């Protein structure tokens, strides 16, 4: 974490902390704690992160906590007492998420606080919308909704189909779903937080990226896009065992077609962000030189009329 944080600081990049509360990765001793002990452990963790990184810009506060009808969550929250320690989740009110956001706001008053989850574009759209609206209603200081965007192939995540990666999600369905998310969350700022296109077929990967990435860049409600790994063979998706790390954009040191397209597109387009969140280029911009009004200076003393 230090390495990524320091790299961003020294190279004009953005750093997002991922994540404060998650049901899938935690110390192996956490499930053995009582509710009170769990609350103390979570509080100590928040305090330790704040002490080490007091100036965080963007934070995934809670990750993968959509609750299904079977009582299970998108990650293993039921394996610990995290939910009970942070106020519970009675009647689907997600109180524990609201508590976590308030704890984060107390420690990082200026950070962009995000709720982050998967399968929220193709499979569990309504579950994500309901969660975001519920915690907003209950007072969570949420600034953005993170759509992981691992689910934009026809077969879901790890791929099958042609070339070991399936086909792109239908474009009309993709755009209408994005519009639905915007309209039903009152245009909460969106972060495409873990985007990847798993395919061994360069043409299919390029098609998906050129359609989806371009849409997000030109969508005024999308504040940021993060690729979830970019080196072929070093990403987490394996196209159903056919090719390890098949979502990578650079293979054997050479740009794949999607990366070639990305470089060209980004050289000509800075994107549209009307969310009000400051997530643009961090490179200092020199001020425009001041020019005399109408091209020449007024004589002083003299008569000036506005």
Q: Which residues are catalytic?
A: 64, 194
- The answer to whether the peptide bond before residue 19 is cis (omega within 30 degrees of 0) is yes
CA 256 from centre of chain = 24
Rounded Cα gap, residues 255 and 261, in angstroms: 9
Beta partners for 115? 62, 145
Cα 6 off chain centre by: 20
- Greatest alpha-carbon span in the chain: 82
**CA angle 207–233–261, rounded 5-degree value:** 25
Label residues 99-116 b or e (16+ Cβ within 10 Å = b).
bbbbbbbebbeebbbbbb
């Amino acid at each position: 974490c230090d390495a990524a944080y320091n790299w961003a600081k020294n190279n004009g990049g953005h750093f997002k902390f991922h994540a404060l509360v998650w049901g899938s990765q935690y110390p192996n001793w956490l499930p053995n704690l009582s509710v009170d002990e769990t609350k103390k452990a979570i509080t100590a963790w928040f305090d330790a992160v704040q002490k080490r990184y007091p100036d965080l810009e963007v934070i995934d506060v809670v990750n993968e906590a959509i609750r299904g009808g079977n009582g299970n969550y998108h990650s293993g929250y039921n394996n610990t007492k995290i939910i009970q320690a942070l106020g519970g989740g009675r009647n689907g009110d997600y109180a524990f998420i609201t508590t976590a956001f308030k704890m984060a706001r107390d420690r990082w008053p200026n950070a962009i606080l995000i709720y982050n989850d998967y399968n929220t574009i193709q499979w569990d759209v309504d579950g994500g919308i309901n969660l975001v609206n519920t915690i907003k209603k209950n007072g969570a200081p949420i600034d953005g909704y993170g759509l992981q965007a691992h689910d934009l192939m026809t077969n879901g995540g790890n791929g099958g189909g042609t070339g070991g990666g399936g086909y792109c999600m239908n474009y009309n369905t993709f755009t209408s779903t994005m519009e639905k998310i915007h309209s039903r969350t009152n245009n909460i700022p969106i972060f495409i937080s873990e985007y990847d296109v798993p395919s061994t077929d360069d043409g299919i990967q390029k098609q998906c990226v050129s359609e989806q990435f371009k849409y997000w860049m030109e969508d005024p409600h999308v504040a940021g896009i993060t690729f979830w790994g970019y080196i072929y063979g070093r990403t987490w998706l394996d196209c159903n065992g056919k090719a390890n790390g098949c979502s990578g954009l650079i293979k054997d040191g050479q740009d794949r077609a999607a990366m070639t397209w990305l470089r060209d597109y980004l050289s000509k387009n800075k994107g549209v962000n009307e969310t009000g969140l400051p997530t643009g280029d961090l490179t200092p911009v020199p001020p425009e030189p001041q020019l005399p009004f109408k091209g020449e200076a007024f004589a002083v003393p003299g008569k000036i009329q506005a």
